[in-house]
């Protein structure tokens, strides 16, 4: 059974792309872009207004204080004056009125602050991982315990190389204690518990891995403008990033070519300048010699 799963992954699900050394830079680039997309999902969060929060907005005759309490964790260290302006932006963003209560179960859209985004940045955490640990993804994390490999294998199933890269890189971050903001006391030491644990900050109460996967797929749809992303999100992402990567590489080659031409031109001009100096110097010596003879 395991053999057939590996065969399907290797032949049918693009896992072959992990094997050639020449693909390593592309795979690492793909992982970076994957985490950049997850960062984009942190730009805006949704809070489901509770019954108590709705009742308080009735008492307060407006949603300002309720929103202030809700967004405080997304704007730590922000001055009261600036926070008031942010609250006004959120009120307008959600089509609310300053003197009317907010309804229970209202999905409040919140634009997050820079500190929150920096503290929860997936790409920053991934960049802090050393190259040796990152290279584990190219050998299917073979150095990890069998229990972890079993978990990864059955989570990935036959979903393809992008799902593998997503889960394996999340595992690397988790194993290096870089996902403590998503972990609880139960899941902090157990990856299987972590990925299957309900995310309390999610209004849909999805499991951690489910929420992360959904966030990535949603950002893939935005990036690729692919209306069929629900059926083939990872395929669309792989194709898009491959084209993006090649465009960047071609641009680098052109810049190198231009630089080389400029460098060669400078060398040529330098040689001609040196030759001119030598020629002028030689002529000057001959003229000085002739003057001496006449004298």
pLDDT of residue 103 exceeding 90:
yes
Are both 17 and 104 inside the same structural domain? Answer: no
Residue 290: what pLDDT?
60
Question: Which is nearest to 35 in space by CA: 135, 154, 127, 149?
Answer: 127
Are both 147 and 195 inside the same structural domain? Answer: yes
| Residue 45 φ then ψ, to 5° | -120, 160
Residue 76 lies in a domain: yes
Q: What is the pLDDT of residues 194-230, one digit of tens each?
A: 999 998 889 999 999 999 999 999 999 989 886 555 5
Are both 88 and 111 inside the same structural domain? Answer: yes
- Residue range 282-294: average pLDDT? 59
* Top-confidence residue, 58 or 5: 58
Enter the pTM of the model.
Answer: 0.78
Residue 8: what pLDDT?
53
Give the pLDDT band of residue 295 (cuts 50, 70, 90).
low
Rama region for 112: left / alpha / beta (φ>0; ψ in -120 to 50; rest): beta
Instruction: Output the six-digit token pair for 228.
Output: 């069929």
Separation of alpha carbons 248 and 70, rounded Å? 41
Separation of alpha carbons 73 and 68, rounded Å? 10
Give the pLDDT band of residue 5 (cuts 50, 70, 90).
very low
Separation of alpha carbons 137 and 176, rounded Å? 15
Domain boundary among 222, 241, 260: 241
Residue 269 lies in a domain: no
Q: What is the pLDDT of residues 136-171, one digit of tens each?
A: 888 877 788 877 777 777 777 656 788 889 999 999
Are both 236 and 108 inside the same structural domain? Answer: no
Domain boundary among 116, 141, 172: 116
Q: Are 57 and 104 in contact (CB under 8 A)?
A: no
pLDDT of residue 18 exceeding 70:
no
Residue 228 lies in a domain: yes
Residue 48: what pLDDT?
95
- H-helix or E-strand spanning residue 240: helix 233-294
Q: What is the pLDDT of residues 228-280, one digit of tens each?
A: 555 678 888 988 999 999 999 888 877 666 556 666 655 665 665 556 555 65
In terms of residue numbers, what domain contains 106? Answer: 45-116
Q: Are 116 and 72 in contact (CB under 8 A)?
A: no
Are both 57 and 165 inside the same structural domain? Answer: no
Residue 294 lies in a domain: no
Separation of alpha carbons 270 and 219, rounded Å? 52
Are both 155 and 204 inside the same structural domain? Answer: yes
Residue 234 lies in a domain: yes
- Counting the structural domains of the chain, the total is 2
Residue 167 buriedness (CB in 10 A; 0-12 / 13-18 / 19+): buried
Residue 150: what pLDDT?
75
Are both 37 and 54 inside the same structural domain? Answer: no
Residue 248 lies in a domain: no
Are both 229 and 132 inside the same structural domain? Answer: yes
Q: Are 46 and 110 in contact (CB under 8 A)?
A: yes
Separation of alpha carbons 156 and 162, rounded Å? 9
Residue 35 lies in a domain: yes
Q: What is the pLDDT of residues 44-78, one digit of tens each?
A: 999 999 999 999 999 999 999 999 999 999 999 99
Mean pLDDT of the chain: 83
Domain boundary among 100, 116, 132: 116
| Residue 239 φ then ψ, to 5° | -65, -40
CB-side neighbour CA atoms (13 Å) of 217: 16
CB-side neighbour CA atoms (13 Å) of 95: 3
Residue 186: what pLDDT?
79
Residue 100 lies in a domain: yes
pLDDT of residue 291 exceeding 90:
no
Residue 144: what pLDDT?
80
Q: Are 106 and 100 in contact (CB under 8 A)?
A: no
């Amino acid at each position: 059974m395991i053999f057939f799963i590996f065969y399907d992954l290797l032949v049918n699900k693009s896992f072959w792309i992990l094997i050639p050394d020449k693909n390593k830079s592309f795979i690492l680039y793909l992982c970076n872009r994957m985490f950049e997309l997850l960062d984009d999902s942190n730009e805006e969060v949704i809070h489901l207004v509770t019954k108590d929060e709705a009742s308080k907005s009735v008492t307060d005759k407006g949603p300002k204080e309720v929103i202030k309490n809700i967004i405080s964790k997304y704007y730590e260290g922000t001055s009261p004056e600036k926070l008031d302006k942010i609250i006004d932006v959120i009120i307008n963003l959600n089509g609310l009125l300053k003197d009317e209560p907010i309804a229970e179960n209202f999905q409040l859209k919140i634009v997050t602050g820079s500190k929150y985004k920096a503290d929860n940045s997936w790409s920053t955490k991934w960049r802090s991982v050393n190259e040796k640990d990152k290279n584990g993804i190219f050998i299917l994390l073979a150095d990890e315990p069998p229990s972890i490999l079993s978990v990864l294998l059955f989570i990935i199933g036959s979903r393809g190389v992008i799902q593998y890269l997503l889960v394996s890189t999340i595992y690397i971050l988790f194993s290096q204690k870089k996902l403590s903001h998503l972990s609880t006391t139960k899941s902090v030491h157990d990856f299987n518990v972590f990925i299957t644990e309900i995310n309390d900050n999610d209004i849909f109460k999805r499991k951690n891995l489910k929420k992360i996967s959904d966030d990535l797929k949603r950002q893939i749809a935005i990036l690729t403008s692919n209306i069929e992303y629900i059926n083939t999100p990872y395929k669309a992402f792989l194709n898009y990033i491959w084209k993006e990567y090649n465009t960047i590489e071609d641009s680098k080659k052109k810049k190198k070519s231009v630089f080389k031409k400029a460098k060669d031109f400078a060398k040529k001009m330098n040689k001609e300048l040196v030759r001119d100096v030598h020629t002028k110097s030689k002529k000057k010596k001959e003229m000085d010699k002739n003057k001496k003879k006449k004298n």
